[in-house]
């Protein structure tokens, strides 16, 4: 019995050692610059393992530290009992989620989700040409709206819009969950507004009268609802609506 126990412990230690080696290697690939070495692990598999629990970022250090705040505002169109529709007020989802972090030594890792998807969309939007930006500012919410938007952007954009479309879909899916959580299951469509506010420039850091620049906003039209397989409205509602900033 004692010999079997030692063999079992060795297998457990071997498994733990292999996991530690894999985790260190995956973390190295995640933070390393783009190179052929990163192709060793498929991008989707690496992202699925690292995000959201183990994501790493060096953006707090020079030469390009984080120097601005991202905001995501969401509103919805809701059907009432007699079939009429009404538009809700805006809810700043990023403030709700970051309230989990403020004065909390052990915040949930999910509290950075809103900022993460917002930053991605803000960045990809800037890479669109002017006509494409006008296009995404229109309403797209009727039958197969996301497919029609992708076809128009692909046909009319001077740049490949794939990364933009992925970023917008993530925000639309997130906005859908927020809308269901805050306004219930009678939501018909959603609209989101993305903005970024830079910090006081480093050169003015000692100026007591210095103020932050005004936020730069990106406006989008109404979008249809998006839900992914495996998502749970109830679990998201429990998480989002129990944040220190109450909006539900």
Pairing of strands 91-92, 85-87: unpaired
State pTM to two decimals.
0.76
Q: Which two tokens stand for residue 103?
A: 């004065």
Furthest C-alpha separation in the chain = 76
pLDDT at 62: 61
> What SS3 state is found at 184?
coil
Q: Break the chain into its structural domains and give their ranges.
A: 2-50, 68-241
pLDDT lower than 70: segments of the chain:
1-3, 52, 56-64
CA neighbor of 136 nearest in space, from 77, 194, 224, 221? 221
Phi first, then psi, for residue 225 (nearest 5°) are -80, 140
pLDDT at 55: 72
pLDDT at 158: 75
pLDDT in tens, 23-80: 999 888 888 777 788 788 888 888 888 876 777 666 666 666 778 899 999 999 998 8
pLDDT at 46: 85
**C-alpha distances out from residue 131 to 115, 122, 153, 160, 218, Å:** 26, 16, 9, 14, 14
């Amino acid at each position: 019995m004692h010999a079997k126990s030692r063999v079992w412990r060795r297998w457990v230690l071997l498994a733990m050692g292999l996991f530690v080696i894999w985790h260190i290697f995956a973390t190295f690939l995640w933070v390393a610059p783009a190179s052929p070495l990163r192709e060793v692990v498929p991008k989707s598999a690496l992202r699925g393992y690292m995000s959201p629990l183990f994501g790493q970022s060096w953006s707090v250090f020079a030469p390009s530290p984080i120097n601005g705040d991202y905001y995501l505002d969401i509103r919805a169109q809701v059907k009432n009992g007699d079939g009429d529709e009404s538009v809700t007020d805006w809810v700043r989802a990023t403030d709700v989620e970051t309230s989990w972090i403020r004065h909390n030594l052990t915040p949930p890792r999910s509290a950075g989700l809103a900022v993460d998807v917002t930053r991605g969309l803000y960045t990809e939007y800037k890479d669109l040409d002017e006509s494409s930006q006008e296009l995404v500012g229109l309403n797209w919410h009727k039958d197969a709206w996301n497919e029609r938007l992708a076809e128009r952007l692909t046909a009319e954009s001077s740049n490949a819009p794939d990364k933009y479309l992925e970023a917008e879909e993530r925000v639309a899916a997130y906005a859908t969950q927020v809308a269901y959580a805050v306004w219930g299951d009678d939501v018909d469509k959603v609209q989101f507004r993305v903005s970024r506010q830079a910090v006081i420039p480093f050169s003015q850091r000692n100026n007591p009268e210095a103020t932050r620049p005004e936020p730069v906003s990106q406006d989008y039209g109404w979008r249809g609802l998006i839900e992914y397989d495996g998502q749970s409205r109830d679990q998201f509602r429990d998480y989002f609506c129990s944040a220190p900033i109450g909006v539900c």
